[in-house]
Structure 1
Amino acid sequence: MIHSTAIIDPAARIADDVTIGPYAVIGPDVVIGEGTEVGPHTVIKGPTVIGKRNRIFQFASVGEECQDLKYKGEPTRLIIGDDNTIREFTTLQRGTIQDAEETRIGNHCLFMAYSHVAHDCIVGDHVILANSAQVAGHCVIDDHAILGGNTGVHQFCQIGTHAFVGAGSTVLKDIPAFVTMQGYPATPHGINVEGLKRRGYSRDAIKALRQAYKTVYRESKTVTEAMAELHPMVAEHPELQVFIDSVERSRRGIAR
């Protein structure tokens, strides 16, 4: 299960059924869970904890120190959940002591080739980063969000659940849940209707979310005015609370 050319530090803790390919390098303070596959020439440094049944393809760099000049070698962490796919040349980096001291990846995510998640990011479940999508430090990407190829996300941005960012976009402000964005800078293009249909949202729920989008983006209201109008609708359409929360938590302001 472990190729003879792999270099594994004795302090690494690796489950018995983990597969490790030729010339992979596994450092100390690395924990790898059951059923995980580590491809050839992959480098994993710690402190890093990798859950179960992850697939890490060749030449990925996982748990390397971050590209932040403030970082001075502190023992920060990378935490990865279960059932993720990490493709070729992906880079997932540890956190900094200026934040929560860790970068965290959820479950069932797909990181396509050359994608990058920087220090102190929090990535939810079922997130997709297409080829060469780049996420700067301190970002939050919620469940089921999708970033198209060559998308760039500015540091400290938040991207809500079920949001969709088109290929080649530059995200400079926060993106609310369920919203589709595209462009440089990324601007809104409606609700992610197709994605919501595929994930089982009802026709009434989608209709309510489209109306909420119009209230925020098409009726010349301030964000405060729009939220005041939407809050009473939550009792009838609970999914609106997720949209409202993603707007109200914004630190950089939402892209409009």
Structure 2
Amino acid sequence: MSSIIMPESGIHETAIIHPNAVIGKDVKVGPYAVIDEDTVIGDGCVIGAHVTIHKYTTVGKNNRFFPGCSIGAVPQDLKFVGEQTRTIIGDGGTFRECCTVNRACGEGNETRIGNNILMMAYTHVAHNCIVGNNVIMSNVATLAGHVIVEDRAVIGGLAAVHQFCKIGRNAMVGGMARASQDIPPFMIVAGDPAFVSGLNSVGLARAGMPQEERSELKKAFRILYRSGLPLQEAIATMEAELNSCEPIEHLMRFLRTVERGIIRTRKG
């Protein structure tokens, strides 16, 4: 068997797997892949050539790791002193070439990635991040430590997200954007520094959100970004003027917990 071809079934003879690693059913492991100690690999995963799954990593079912991925390596943080932390990966993810995910800092903490994520080539998720379900990270998109990304967000190529920022549900971050504050759910941001360019209307329609809910979000956008009101007054106005629906309630919950401030529209 050629050492550069994935095995049709099972584990390639050059792969290195620690004796206490737990490997599920129907897992394929390619040439020169390394699976470290205290790891769990779920059923149906495909681990490509030269992939490294580091210790204290748990991987769910039916994930695919393309060549060169590094999953669960120690964090790139000078505060880290070897404490036991973990990396948790959900089900159905695709991790393209050379993407990296670091485990957490702080004893007992986790870096956590949800289900059905697509991380394209050279993307990076740093320590203590929480990434939701159905998130797409385009090539070379980068999350600093402690970033939270809610479900179905899309992060464009070469975008960079500052530590401790939050990206809301169904938000879209444009390519090469630099985000240093929170991005509210359902918004589109772009630029360096990033600014809100509008509501993610096309994405919401494609996600199947009903028209009446999208209409309420358009009203919320105008209150939040066109009224000139401070954030807390904008939230109060939305509570008083908008019809209650799940997306509106989610948006207001997000805004009430903002700590770094929110990205605003472009001035001038």
Q: Fold-level match, TM-score > 0.5? A: yes
Corresponding residue SS for 2:169: coil
User: In the alignment, is the contact (CA less than 8 A) between 1:234 and 1:241 conserved in 2?
Assistant: no
The SS at the match of 1:96 is coil
Q: Percent identity?
A: 44
2:5 is matched with: none
Partners of 1:61 and 1:236 in 2: CA distance: 44
Tell me the equivalent position of 1:190.
198
CA deviation after TM superposition for structure 1 residue 235, in Å: 4.7
Counterpart position of 2:7:
none
Counterpart position of 1:172: 180
Is the Cα–Cα contact under 8 Å of residues 233 and 240 in structure 1 kept in the other structure? no
Which 5+ residue runs of structure 1 have no aligned equivalent?
none
1:152 paired to 2:160: yes
1:108 shift after superposition: 0.5
Moved over 4 A (4+): none
What are structure 2's unaligned runs of at least 5 residues?
Answer: 1-9
Match of 1:49 in 2: 58
- Is structure 2 residue 34 aligned with structure 1 residue 36? no
1:239 aligns with 2:247: yes
Q: Secondary structure at the match of 1:79?
A: strand
Larger mean CA deviation between 229-238 and 103-112 belongs to 229-238
CA distance in 2, matches of 1:34, 1:28: 18
Q: C-alpha offsets along residues 151-180 of structure 1, whole Å, 9 cap, x if unaligned?
A: 000000000000000000000000000010
Contact conserved, 2:185 with 2:251, CA < 8 A, in 1?
yes
The residue that corresponds to 1:66 in the other structure is 75
Q: CA deviation at 1:234?
A: 5.5
- Cα distance in structure 2, aligned partners of 1:17 and 1:93: 26
| Whole-angstrom CA distance in 2 between matches of 1:238 and 1:173 | 24
- Note the aligned Cα RMSD (angstroms): 1.1
Equivalent residue, structure 2, for 1:211 = 219
Distance in 2, Cα, partners of 1:46 & 1:7: 13
Deviation, structure 1 residue 233:
4.5
Deviates more, 1:125-134 or 1:226-235: 226-235
- Asked if residue 225 in structure 1 is aligned to residue 233 in structure 2, the reply is yes
1:58-91 residue CA offsets vs partner (Å, 9 max, x unmatched): 1000010010000011111000000000000000
Deviation for aligned residue 1:231: 1.3
Q: 1:135 aligns with which of 137, 143, 148?
A: 143
Cα deviation for residue 16 of structure 1 reads 2.9
Give the Cα separation in 1 of the matches to 2:109 and 2:216: 39
Q: Is the 8 A contact 2:219 2:242 kept in 1?
A: no
Please tell me the residue identity of whatever aligns with 1:19: K
Of residues 30, 33, 36, the one that matches 1:27 is 36
Whether the 8 Å contact between 1:227 and 1:244 is mirrored in structure 2 is: yes
TM-score by length of 2: 0.93
Mapped to 1, the partners of 2:150 and 2:192 lie a distance apart of 22
CA contact (8 A) 1:190 1:210 kept: no
The aligned length equals 255
Question: How far apart in 1 are the matches of 2:200 and 2:171?
Answer: 7
Aligned residue in 2 for 1:199: 207
Deviations 1:97-121 (A, max 9, x none): 17x6110000000000000000000
Q: Tell whether 2:26 aligns with 1:17.
A: yes
State the SS of the aligned residue for 2:31. coil
Deviation digits for residues 13-50 of structure 1 (CA, Å, limit 9, x no counterpart): 11131100000011001100000000000011010000
Whether contact under 8 Å (1:37, 1:54) holds in the other structure is yes
